[in-house]
Amino acid sequence: MGKVKKYRAKVEVRLKSGYLDPEGESAKKALIDLKYPVGRVSTAKVYEIEFAASGLRKAWMVVEEMCKKLLANPVKDDYSFEVEEIR
Amino acid sequence: MVKICVIRVGGTNCDEETKRALDELGAVCEVIHFKKIVKGKKKLSSYDALIIPGGFSFGDHVRAGAILGKEMKYVLSKELKRFVEEGRPILGICNGFQVLVEADLLPGFGGGIPQAALAINDSARFECRWVYLRVESGGKCIFTRGLKKGEVVSMPVAHAEGKFVFPKGKEEEYLKKLVGGDQLVFRYCNDRGEPARRKYPENPNGSFYDIAGICDPTGMIFGMMPHPERAAFGIQLHNWTEMEDIPEYGDGMSIFRSLMEYLGCGG
Amino acid sequence: MRSVYERKPLPFELFEVNLLEASEEQLMRISEEMGLALSLKEMKWCKRYFSEKGRNPTDVELQTIGQTWSEHCFHKTFKGITLMDGRRIRLFRDYIARVTEELSPNWCISVFKDNAGIVEFENGYAIAVKVETHNHPSAIEPFGGAATGVGGVIRDILGVWAKPIANLDVLGFGPLNFPYEDLPPGIKHPKYIFRGVVAGIGAYGNNMGIPTVAGAIHFDESYVGNPVVYCGCVGLLPVSSYVKSTRPGDLAVLVGGRTGRDGIHGVTFASLELGEESEEVSRPAVQIPDPIEEEKLRRAILRVRDKKLASGITDLGGGGISCACGEMAREANCGIEVELDRVPLKYSDMRPWEIWISESQERMFLSVPESNVGEVIDIFEEEDVEATPIGKFVEGGALKVFFRSWKVGELDLKFLFSPPVVRRKAKWQLPALREPRFKERDVEKTLLELLASPNVASKEEIIRTYDHEVQGNTVLKPLHGRYGGPSDAAVIRPLSNSWKGVVISCGLKPRYGKIDPYWMAASSIEEAIRNNVAVGGRRIALLDNFVWGNPEREEQLGSLVRACRACYDFAKIFETPFISGKDSLYNESPLGPVTPTLLITAVGVVPDVRKIVSVEFKRAGDPVYVLGRTYPELGGSEYYSLLGLVGRSVPRVHPSKAKASMDSLMRAIEYGIVKACHDVSDGGLGVALAEMVLSGDLGVDVDLREVPTSGIGGRRDFIMFSESNSRFVVEVRPGSEEEFESIVKADYALVGAVTRRRALVIREKEKILVDLSSGKMREAWKIRYG
């Protein structure tokens, strides 16, 4: 306890289902042009964040907060993340 | 003397033309870097109104308007609250509208969580085109008091992320609230004033209910995607060459004129 | 013998290159291995220089020479000697610069010398213009390549202390329906390149808040392996701010983004042909764009300008710090000492030569009197931009480079800027082309097909992704009016206390170059001027931008000579000086060279923007005239191309007639009797009339027999689709017909009248040849490019 460790979070932000993903749609069109018969294409944004925290539980809470405060807009975005300790 | 602050950060780029329109109406308009306000080198309280102009604040990284919006929400919240309470209006144009939504100042239903978003256009492209807007405001929004409800005005849009959305499942509830509170200000429409019904290109981005501009419950904070500063003067209109006489002003000027009148400097 | 490269015993990586003992073969190997792209003659020139100095060069020194002498930086071909038809020609001096010298207009402030051409404007303000190419980077990474092309040309404008007020972009791609199977390995599909380039241009200009107001897009098979990306920028500056007074003692201040490995060897590889290996080998040569950094940079630079804190400025483009230092010191007639370890880096492990030649974007270079440096750094800090003094201008004529106090390079500027003169042979002959014979086609059907052909069709889908309204000064928009009419030129009104406007237009006729580059160049010049005059422009300055194949091939160089010769002949006749230009040579791929392509950009002024003329018809009943004569000139036309033909009857420019046509129109517009005007170009008279109709809410009814023609023998399709130069369609104010006719000193005819019915009607007396509603034409014309 009390010792600060380093963590790396990988946060993925994507559009909630039900919202049109125009970037995914235009990538889909382009892929079909390239003769790949693809189905649904969706896009997501990935952030890799390195930071320090006092423990894994705390690290999770911090990342959750980052997502809510800035990285995702809960109106249209879903987010998920992983946190790992780094040396 | 009316003093207006036009805020800028890296990536802001419609500050000059916004200032030009206000200068024309006799305002004293200063373009101030956001940093100066955060650091206390300039005081918000020394201005009568605040404008967040168009552009790509902080490169629109994360989401359009998100970084400046969150900085306003978490760093300047007290000052902004007091600013509005003291009867000083805030206008967000294009990127400024995105900022106000990200800052939870619009639609301002309360509760501390975002209630709307400006998503990527349905066309997945940046769209620079002139659109028609129907005035929906019954008079609450102080920025459109010079316009009559039902009137049709024309201005250009220029954005890639302007599709107004409410949370899924809450659309009808929030729309009711918006309309009931006289917060719906502009809707995209055709040249006859009929709603665009999400039809492209009349509705250039796919906005829910053709929403182009809304105000907060007090009518003091207003955000719109179209650019009134690019339709402030007759010579800026896209079809002025077809007109017998070039008008001195365009429809956009009415937004700034309404603001000046509210601040007691009309005429 | 010692090895060719010997690492010096230093705490960082620095190589001495054993030039003095190198054989010819080894010299060439060094050039290749170090990516210098220098010829044997040039390598021997270096060897002699270092022999005289009695020492071998370092890698830093050879890289400096490689960069400075590159085709991209030094324009060896245009400055060199070309032998053709028994004549010794210097392309730049004998053709391009000569026009301007002979005309020597007093309104030109700076031509050819600086980062951009500068001409007078109004109230103590001047206009700066520059057009660049970014073809190779765009072929490899379309988005980044095009975006950094825009970023680079904007810095050229900042590099003459001007505020960017408009961008223009002219693009050439392979046909978007080109079969995937036919693509050689390593070449990307035109559609992929097209999407990336358009997105890159939009992203940079939009993010910086500079309206993209003019341009063109042309599709041609020869661009499949080598797209063409011209990026232009127009700026506004107070003449008194144009400061160039760098002197010894001033500090050299590097400002903007950090330096990384981006673009290393971007310059030298631009002088090599694109091949299968290009993709992998060249990847690190591509630069990464960050428009927001440049937006901040612009704010800071304009503040430094307005406070007059700096003595000089230049942009960092090809060759990075190495070229900027050398050029600035040479221009100031002094020397410079640079401490490379002071350059802020993206990665700490960069070698000295990499820092020295890196082409990281969004950086500029200032010379600042020592007493002002503090204030300059403060301004940059306020805008969140790094500013770092990295050296000092000194007496003498040497360029000295230090790294951690070690001298890693020293070159005499005089040597550095006098590379051996390139001598090349050139030849040219008219290609064996024949004029096709075929029966007259149905003109109505053909017109609809032409309206929908990619080179003629509306570029709305692309143009609307560019912000052309930001800054609020775009008075005549690229898509004007509610239907997005195709304006002949864009007009910007940059000063709110004056009605004077800047008129920007282009001329581009790549198809004609397949027949004769001379007439291609003549037509490009004529078209650029014609477009400018059509909206009311005058006092026109020109920019030339050549995109050609490998000049080491005699026939490529020969066709370049012909184009340059036309530049002299016609710019002289029209009294339009060249003020700036750039050439991009070696545009070849496994599919062959690009078709000779010359972009002419015309920048004029209009005394009162309220009097400019747009294309849409204005009022029913108004008389409609055709100005200029139509000849059977269909070689290289859109009509022939539609039929898969080239032909040989390329449109010519008849000097006195062309000038009469332009002068007449200019006067008529000045008298305020022209209500609408459109130049006749791609697709001929038929397309010009159609565009005037579909741009507005009116129609026109025209009798084809009235159109002035010569030698056409009644071929209706030829009258409608010939692309003869020097023609306009003009709507004249009713009641002013007589005045108009008395002003016009060129061939003209009253051909019809504007109608209330929204349709294009073309007839021969009673016989209707074309009857198309504007809706139907618009539908055909507004195609999707995808």
* Residue-wise pLDDT tens digits, C324-366: 999 999 999 999 999 999 999 988 888 999 999 998 999 999 9
* Residue-wise pLDDT tens digits, C681-720: 999 999 999 999 999 999 999 999 999 999 999 899 999 9
Q: What percent of chain C has pLDDT over 70?
A: 97
| Mutation for testing the B interface, residue in C469, C491, C499, C694 having most B CBs under 10 Å | C469
In angstroms and rounded to an integer, the radius of gyration of the C-alpha atoms of chain B is: 17
Task: Give the pLDDT mean for C288-302.
Answer: 95
Residues linked to residue C762 through DSSP beta bridges, in sequence order: C702, C770
Q: Which of C630, C650, C631, C642 is nearest to C511 (CA)?
A: C650
CB distance C482–B239 less than 8 Å? Answer: yes
* Residue-wise pLDDT tens digits, C670-681: 999 999 999 999
In chain B, the residue whose alpha carbon lies closest to the alpha carbon of A17 is: B168
CB distance A33–C195 less than 8 Å? Answer: no
Q: Say if residue C266's pLDDT is above 50.
A: no
Pairing mode, strands A44-53 and A5-15: antiparallel
Q: How many CB atoms lie under 10 A from the CB of residue C104?
A: 10
- What ipTM goes with this model? 0.96
Higher-confidence position of C408 and C181: C408
Confidence at residue B1, expressed as pLDDT on a 0 to 100 scale: 87
Classify domain C613-786 at the CATH topology level.
Phosphoribosyl-aminoimidazole Synthetase; Chain A, domain 2 (3.90.650)
Confidence at residue C71, expressed as pLDDT on a 0 to 100 scale: 85
* Residue-wise pLDDT tens digits, C55-99: 999 999 999 999 999 888 888 999 999 999 999 999 999 999 999
Q: Say if residue C547's pLDDT is above 90.
A: yes
Amino acid at residue number B50: L
Q: Say if residue A83's pLDDT is above 80.
A: yes
* Residue-wise pLDDT tens digits, C635-644: 999 999 999 9
Active site residue B229: yes
* Whether residue B107 has a cis bond before it, omega within 30° of 0: yes
Which bin fits C84, alpha (ψ -120 to 50), beta or left (φ > 0)?
beta
In chain A, the residue whose alpha carbon lies closest to the alpha carbon of C192 is: A30
Distance CA A25, CA A27 (A): 5
CB burial class (10 A; 0-12, 13-18, 19+) of residue C720? buried
List all chains that touch chain C, counting a touch as 3 or more CB pairs closer than 8 Å: A, B
Q: Say if residue A24's pLDDT is above 70.
A: yes
In chain C, the residue whose alpha carbon lies closest to the alpha carbon of B202 is: C482
Sign of CA dihedral C633, C636, C640, C645: positive
Question: A-chain residues within 8 Å CB-CB of C178?
Answer: none
Sign of CA dihedral B177, B179, B183, B185: positive
Q: Say if residue C145's pLDDT is above 60.
A: yes
CATH architecture of B3-262: 3-Layer(aba) Sandwich (3.40)
Confidence at residue C348, expressed as pLDDT on a 0 to 100 scale: 83
Q: Say if residue C35's pLDDT is above 90.
A: no
How far apart are the CA of C348 and the nearest CA of chain A, in angstroms? 20
**Is the CB of residue C263 less than 8 Å from the CB of residue C147?**
no
Higher-confidence position of C180 and C157: C157
Amino acid at residue number C280: E
Distance CA C706, CA C684 (A): 16
Q: Say if residue C786's pLDDT is above 90.
A: no
In chain B, the residue whose alpha carbon lies closest to the alpha carbon of C209 is: B13
Question: C-chain residues within 8 Å CB-CB of B126?
Answer: 202, 206, 464-467
Which residues 120-159 of B have a C-beta within 8 angstroms of C? 125-130, 156, 158
Put the strands of the sheet holding C490-492 in their side by side order: C474-476, C490-492, C501-508, C597-606, C538-547, C578-584
CB distance B124–A22 less than 8 Å? Answer: yes
Task: Give the pLDDT mean for A22-44.
Answer: 87
Three-state helix/strand/coil letters over C148-200: HHHHHHHHHHHCCCCEEEEEEEEEEECCCCCCHHHCCCCCCCHHHHHHHHHHH
The residue whose two tokens read 């060129």 is C746
CB distance C291–B59 less than 8 Å? Answer: yes
Distance CA C676, CA C535 (A): 9
Q: Say if residue C486's pLDDT is above 50.
A: yes
CB distance A30–C189 less than 8 Å? Answer: no
Confidence at residue B101, expressed as pLDDT on a 0 to 100 scale: 97
The phi and psi torsions of C453 (rounded to 5 degrees) equal -80, 140
Active site residue C468: no
Confidence at residue C460, expressed as pLDDT on a 0 to 100 scale: 95
| Closest residue to B168, CB basis, from A18, A22, A26 | A18
Q: Say if residue B13's pLDDT is above 50.
A: yes
The domains of chain C are located at: 613-786
Higher-confidence position of C367 and C32: C367
Q: Say if residue A16's pLDDT is above 60.
A: yes
- DSSP string across chain A: ----EEEEEEEEEEEPTTS--HHHHHHHHHHHHTT--------EEEEEEEEEESSHHHHHHHHHHHIIIII--TTTEEEEEEEEEE-
Classify domain A5-86 at the CATH topology level.
Mth169; Chain: A , (3.30.1280)
Confidence at residue C272, expressed as pLDDT on a 0 to 100 scale: 52
Distance CA C393, CA C489 (A): 44
CB distance C480–B238 less than 8 Å? Answer: yes
Which residues 26-55 of B have a C-beta within 8 angstroms of C? 33, 35, 54-55
Confidence at residue C283, expressed as pLDDT on a 0 to 100 scale: 43
Task: Give the pLDDT mean for A21-31.
Answer: 86
**Is the CB of residue C495 less than 8 Å from the CB of residue C543?**
no
In chain A, the residue whose alpha carbon lies closest to the alpha carbon of B113 is: A74
Q: Say if residue C273's pLDDT is above 70.
A: no
* Residue-wise pLDDT tens digits, C183-212: 998 899 999 999 999 999 999 999 999 999
Pairing mode, strands C597-606 and C592-593: unpaired
Q: Which two tokens stand for residue B212?
A: 């182009």
Confidence at residue A25, expressed as pLDDT on a 0 to 100 scale: 87
Confidence at residue C282, expressed as pLDDT on a 0 to 100 scale: 43
Amino acid at residue number C229: V
Q: Which two tokens stand for residue B158?
A: 């220029």
Q: What confidence tier does B22 reach under pLDDT thresholds 50, 70, 90?
A: very high
List all chains that touch chain A, counting a touch as 3 or more CB pairs closer than 8 Å: B, C
**Is the CB of residue B196 less than 8 Å from the CB of residue B190?**
yes
Task: Give the pLDDT mean for C589-597.
Answer: 94
In angstroms and rounded to an integer, the radius of gyration of the C-alpha atoms of chain A is: 17
CB distance A76–B117 less than 8 Å? Answer: yes
Confidence at residue C90, expressed as pLDDT on a 0 to 100 scale: 96
Confidence at residue C281, expressed as pLDDT on a 0 to 100 scale: 46
How far apart are the CA of A67 and the nearest CA of chain B, in angstroms? 11
The phi and psi torsions of C654 (rounded to 5 degrees) equal -95, 105
Q: Say if residue B110's pLDDT is above 90.
A: no
Task: Give the pLDDT mean for C417-445.
Answer: 95
How far apart are the CA of C197 and the nearest CA of chain B, in angstroms? 14
Confidence at residue C267, expressed as pLDDT on a 0 to 100 scale: 43
Distance CA C357, CA C351 (A): 10
* Residue-wise burial string across C745-783, b where 16 or more C-beta atoms lie within 10 A, e elsewhere: ebbbbbbbbbbeebbbbbbeeeeebbebebeebbebbbb
How far apart are the CA of A51 and the nearest CA of chain C, in angstroms? 21
Confidence at residue C269, expressed as pLDDT on a 0 to 100 scale: 45
Distance CA C263, CA C269 (A): 10
Flag whether residue B248 sits within 8 Å of chain C, measured between CB atoms.
no
Give the CA distances from residue B147 to residues B194, B213, C496, in Å, rounded to whole numbers and listed in that order: 17, 14, 27
CB burial class (10 A; 0-12, 13-18, 19+) of residue C498? middle
Higher-confidence position of B111 and C614: C614
Provide the total of helices (H) and of strands (E) in chain C, helices listed first. Answer: 27, 35
Distance CA B55, CA B140 (A): 27
Confidence at residue C497, expressed as pLDDT on a 0 to 100 scale: 94
Confidence at residue C697, expressed as pLDDT on a 0 to 100 scale: 96
CB distance B241–C476 less than 8 Å? Answer: yes
The domains of chain A are located at: 5-86
Beta-strand (E) ranges in C316-473?
Answer: 335-339, 363-368, 386-394, 398-403, 406-412, 423-425
Distance CA B147, CA B134 (A): 10
Confidence at residue C782, expressed as pLDDT on a 0 to 100 scale: 95
Flag whether residue C378 sits within 8 Å of chain B, measured between CB atoms.
no
Task: Give the pLDDT mean for A5-10.
Answer: 96
| Mutation for testing the B interface, residue in C470, C479, C733 having most B CBs under 10 Å | C470
Q: Say if residue A23's pLDDT is above 80.
A: yes
* Residue-wise burial string across C397-429, b where 16 or more C-beta atoms lie within 10 A, e elsewhere: bbbbbbbeeeebbbbebebbeebeebebebebe
Distance CA C544, CA C153 (A): 15
Q: Which of C298, C327, C366 is nearest to C162 (CA)?
A: C298
Q: What confidence tier does C2 reach under pLDDT thresholds 50, 70, 90?
A: low
How far apart are the CA of B237 and the nearest CA of chain A, in angstroms? 30
Question: B-chain residues within 8 Å CB-CB of C383?
Answer: 10, 33
CB burial class (10 A; 0-12, 13-18, 19+) of residue A21? buried
Flag whether residue C763 sits within 8 Å of chain B, measured between CB atoms.
no
CB distance A73–B63 less than 8 Å? Answer: yes
Confidence at residue C112, expressed as pLDDT on a 0 to 100 scale: 92
Residue B95, SS3? helix
Confidence at residue C274, expressed as pLDDT on a 0 to 100 scale: 55
Distance CA A48, CA B75 (A): 24
Residue C745, SS3? coil
Q: Please, which residues have CB within 8 angstroms of residue C157's CB and are 6 or more apart in sequence?
A: C115, C116, C128, C130, C163, C164, C233, C234, C235
Spot the catalytic one: B5, B14, B94, B141. B94
Give the CA distances from residue C132 to residues B122, C152, C213, in Å, rounded to whole numbers and listed in that order: 34, 8, 16
Give first-to-last CA distance, chain C, whole Å.
Answer: 60
Task: Tell me the pLDDT of chain C averaged across its residues.
Answer: 94
| Closest residue to C469, CB basis, from B55, B158, B191 | B158
